[in-house]
Each structure stands twice: as C-alpha cells, then as structure tokens.
Amino acid sequence: MYLAKSSFLATLAWKHKSSISKENSRLRKGKHMTVFVKTKEGKSKSYTLFTLRDWKPPQPKEKEDIDKVPTTAHLRFGRSTLEQRLKANICESCGKEGGYFEVHHVRKLKDLQGKEWWEQVMSHRKRKTMILCNECHVLLHAHKLSNRHKKF
C-alpha cells in the first residue's frame, strides 16, 4: 500500500509541479486522502482514498433478517453413500428411527424441478435417492409430503 500511495503522490506532484510532501498535506483531510478530479463536463468530483485498515465490513440494513434461521435441512445428513444412509435406519423426511425403510429414486437429477423441499434436498446433495419410511414414501407419491412432517 505504501508503494502505491507514494507512487500516486509522486505522479500528482509531477503533474502539479510541486513536491510529494506538499501534495500529501494538500490532499490529507483527517485520516484519509481526498482527491478532486475534473470531469469532461468541467465539474470537479472528489474521491477518497482508503487503506485496507480503514475498511469495515458492511452492516446489515434490515434488522429483521438478522435472527432468521436459515434452512439447513439439506445439511443434516450430508453427502454419503446409499449403504451408509440405509444402515443409519433414519427416515430422511420425518427422522423416524427403526422399522422398514424404502428408497425413493428418480431417473435424472435434472428432472427435479426444485419446487418441493425433498427435491431441493436431493439436488443439493447431488443424489438421486432418498431413504424414507413407508408412511413418508406413500405421502411423497401422493404429493402430500410436506416440510411440516420433519421433526428436525
């Protein structure tokens, strides 16, 4: 940053036929340097030069979204093999443990439209299969499987 700033000041000093220290004192206002540039229309426009130390991350504008919990249902099980998911004995929809499970399978991932939550989960995990209990699998084929069945 020092090299860029000193090169900038040297260029301005050469252009205005003055010294680097004079240009530095002329441009410095507080902590930052302000440069005035003339545009083609003859108006002057000011630019403020900042260093990386001066940068602060932007603050969120809307305070309503701060406490909003993100949807992380697709991150619950992660990407694992079909065998590991079957051995876990957990329904990937309602979280039921034990019992009989069925595998819901789609032919192509691009056939998923992403409207239903389970389609979004499958496309995010890049898996064409989903382990479901019997009840959830029946509800899925009846187009009645909703996000409210989820217990986690």
Higher pLDDT, 102 or 150: 102
Give CA–CA dist 101/87, Å, rounded: 10
Give CA–CA dist 20/7, Å, rounded: 9
Contact partners, residue 54, CB within 8 Å, separation at least 6? 31, 32
Please state, for a pLDDT cut of 90, what percent of the chain lies above it. 1
Q: How far is CA 144 from CA 40, 61, 92, 133, 137, in A?
A: 64, 38, 16, 14, 10
Strands 101-105 vs 129-133: parallel, antiparallel or unpaired: antiparallel
Give CA–CA dist 73/90, Å, rounded: 14
Q: Where are the domains of the chain?
A: 2-54, 73-149
Contact partners, residue 38, CB within 8 Å, separation at least 6? 44, 45
Q: Which of 35-49, 54-68, 116-130 has the lowest mean pLDDT?
A: 54-68
pLDDT digits (tens, 9 = 90+) for 112-134: 777 777 777 777 777 788 888 88
pLDDT digits (tens, 9 = 90+) for 15-31: 889 998 888 888 776 66
Angle between helices 2-16 and 20-27 (to 10 degrees): 100
Give CA–CA dist 84/69, Å, rounded: 28
